[in-house]
C-alpha cells in the first residue's frame, strides 16, 4: 500500500457550541483520488479548512508526509505542496487569466514556467489575456483549478469545484481530474456522477464524523449512507 500523504488524528472543531468536526481520524494514501461527501453542514469545508490551515482546529493532529503540520500557518502548508480551491470563487477579478495563474505559481514558490502548460491543461489558453472578472462563472471556476495546478501541488484539495458548472464543463472537469498524475486529490463534491466516476475511494462525513468509507461500489451499496445522504440528493 502507498505511503500516507495525509493523516488526521482526533481532528475536532467546535464553533461556539456547534461541533463541526468530531474526532476525525482520516488517512489518505499518496496518489489517490478521494471524494469527501456528506449532507450540507456535515463539516466537509471545516475539515479541509483545518487541513489547509485556514481554520484552527480545536484539537487533534494533522500529519503531512508523516510530519505534524497542525500548527503551521496556511502559507507554509502551501509551500509544502498543499493547494486548495475554495467553495466560493476567489479569482482576482481585476487581473488577467494569465496573471492569476502566474500569481498562484509564485505563491507556492515556483516560477512562471508552468503558466502556459497550465493554461493549456485547463483549456484557457485562448482566454489568457482576458480580465478574469469578465469570464463566465464556469470559466472562473476552471481558472481557480488552474491556479491550484500552477502550484504543482502534491495534495490538491477542491471544495465543490463543479458547483454551478454547465454539463459540458463538468465533463471537462472529470477528464482533467482523472488525467492528473502524481497528484493526490481530495475532492468535496455533491455531484454524484463526478464522485462515482473520478474517485477511487470515498469518505462520507455526517454530523462532523466519518459515517462510512469505501470504494464507490461500497458506498453506493451502504444503507447508512443512503439514509443519511444519497436518498436526499438530487444528483
Ligand atoms: N464560522 C462558523 N461559525 C459558526 N458555525 C460554523 C462556521 N462555519 C461552519 N459552521 C457550522 O459548522 C457546521 C459544518 O459546516 P461546514 O461548512 O463545514 O459544512 P459542509 O459539509 O461544508 O456543508 P456544505 O455542503 O453546505 O458546504 C455547520 O453546522 C455550520 O453551520
Ligand atoms: Mg462546504
161 and 72 in a common domain: yes
Of residues 178 and 27, more confidently modeled: 27
| Grid coordinates given for 108 | 507556492
**pLDDT score of 209 more than 80:** yes
Residue 38 alpha carbon, nearest atom of ligand 1: 21
pTM metric for this prediction: 0.92
Is 43 within 8 Å of 79 (Cβ atoms)? no
- Looking at the structure, do residues 222 and 159 belong to the same domain, yes or no? yes
Give the residue, by CA position, lying nearest to ligand 1 atom 7: 15
* Residues 162 and 118 occupy one common structural domain: no
Q: Tell me the CATH number at 167.
A: 3.40.50.300
Site residues for ligand 1, CB cut-off 6 Å? 15, 18, 20, 38, 40-46, 87
Query: Best substitution site from 11, 45, 235 to test ligand 1's pocket, by max atoms within 8 Å of Cβ?
Result: 45
Number of domains in the chain: 2
The pLDDT assigned to 1 comes to 65
- 137 shares its domain with 190: no
Closest approach atom of ligand 1 to CA 16:
4
All residues at 6 or more sequence positions from 211 whose CB lies less than 8 Å from its CB, including other chains? 38, 204, 205, 224, 225, 228, 229
Q: Of the residues 100, 135, 152, which one is the last residue of a structural domain?
A: 152
Distance separating alpha carbons of residues 190 and 161, to the nearest angstrom: 10
Looking at the structure, do residues 160 and 233 belong to the same domain, yes or no?
A: yes
Comparing 76 with 231, the larger pLDDT belongs to 76
Q: Which of 152, 173, 198 is the last residue of a domain?
A: 152
**Pair 160, 98 in one domain:** no
Average pLDDT score over residue span 195-215? 96
Instruction: Determine the distance from the C-alpha atom of residue 32 to the mean position of all C-alpha atoms in its chain, rounded to a whole number.
Output: 13
Q: Single out the residue of 148, 65, 53 nearest to residue 110, CA to CA.
A: 148
More confident residue, 26 or 226: 26
Residues 235 and 158 in one domain: yes
- Whether residue 187 is found in the same domain as residue 140: no
pLDDT at 232 over 60: no
Shared domain check, 180 and 111:
no
Whether the pLDDT of residue 234 is over 70: the answer is no
Structural domain boundaries enclosing 122: 90-152
| Separation of CA 33 and ligand 1 centre (Å) | 24
- Last residue within a domain, chosen from 152, 177, 198: 152
Contact 29, 4 (CB under 8 A): yes
Atom of ligand 1 nearest to the CA of 205: 21
pLDDT, average across residues 96-109: 90
With vertex at residue 73, the alpha carbon angle to CA 157 and CA 139, rounded to the nearest 5 degrees, is 35
Distance (Å, rounded) from C-alpha 230 to C-alpha 77?
A: 33
Confidence of residue 230 (pLDDT cuts 50, 70, 90): low
Q: Quickly state the pLDDT bin for 57 (edges 50, 70, 90).
A: very high
Claim to verify: residue 148 and residue 159 sit in the same structural domain: no
3-state secondary structure of 56: coil
143 and 174 share a domain?
Answer: no
Report pLDDT digits (tens) over 143-200. 999 999 998 899 999 999 999 899 998 998 999 898 887 899 999 999 999 999 999 9
Look over the chain and give the mean of its residue pLDDT values, rounded to a whole number: 91
The C-alpha atoms of residue 6 and residue 11 are separated, in whole angstroms, by: 13
Measured by CA distance, the residue closest to atom 30 of ligand 1 is 41
* Ligand 1 pocket mutation pick from 16, 41, 209, 232 by most atoms within 8 angstroms of CB: 41
Report the percentage of the chain scoring pLDDT > 70. Answer: 95
Instruction: Report how far residue 149's alpha carbon sits from residue 102's, in angstroms, rounded to the nearest whole number.
Output: 11
Amino acid at each position: 500500500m502507498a505511503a500516507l500523504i495525509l493523516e488526521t488524528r482526533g481532528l475536532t472543531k467546535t464553533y461556539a457550541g456547534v461541533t463541526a468536526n468530531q474526532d476525525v481520524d482520516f488517512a489518505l494514501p499518496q496518489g489517490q483520488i478521494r471524494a469527501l461527501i456528506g449532507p450540507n453542514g456535515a463539516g466537509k469545508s471545516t475539515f479541509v479548512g483545518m487541513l489547509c490551515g485556514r481554520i484552527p482546529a480545536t484539537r487533534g493532529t494533522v500529519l503531512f508526509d508523516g510530519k505534524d503540520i497542525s500548527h503551521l500557518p496556511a502559507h507554509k502548508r502551501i509551500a509544502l505542496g498543499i493547494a486548495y480551491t475554495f467553495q466560493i470563487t476567489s479569482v482576482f477579478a481585476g487581473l488577467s487569466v494569465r496573471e492569476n495563474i502566474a500569481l498562484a505559481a509564485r505563491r507556492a514558490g515556483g516560477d512562471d514556467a508552468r503558466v502556459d502548460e497550465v493554461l493549456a491543461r485547463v483549456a484557457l489558453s485562448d482566454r489568457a489575456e482576458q480580465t478574469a472578472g469578465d469570464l463566465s462563472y464556469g470559466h472562473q471556476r476552471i481558472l481557480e483549478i488552474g491556479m491550484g495546478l500552477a502550484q504543482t501541488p502534491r495534495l490538491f484539495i477542491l471544495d465543490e469545484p463543479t458547483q454551478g458548472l454547465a454539463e459540458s464543463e463538468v465533463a471537462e472537469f472529470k477528464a482533467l481530474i482523472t488525467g492528473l498524475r502524481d497528484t493526490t486529490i481530495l475532492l468535496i463534491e455533491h455531484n454524484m456522477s463526478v464522485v462515482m466516476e473520478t474517485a477511487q475511494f470515498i469518505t462520507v462525513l455526517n454530523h462532523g464524523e466519518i459515517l462510512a468509507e469505501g470504494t464507490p461500489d461500497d458506498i453506493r451499496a451502504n444503507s447508512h449512507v443512503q439514509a443519511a445522504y444519497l436518498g436526499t440528493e438530487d444528483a
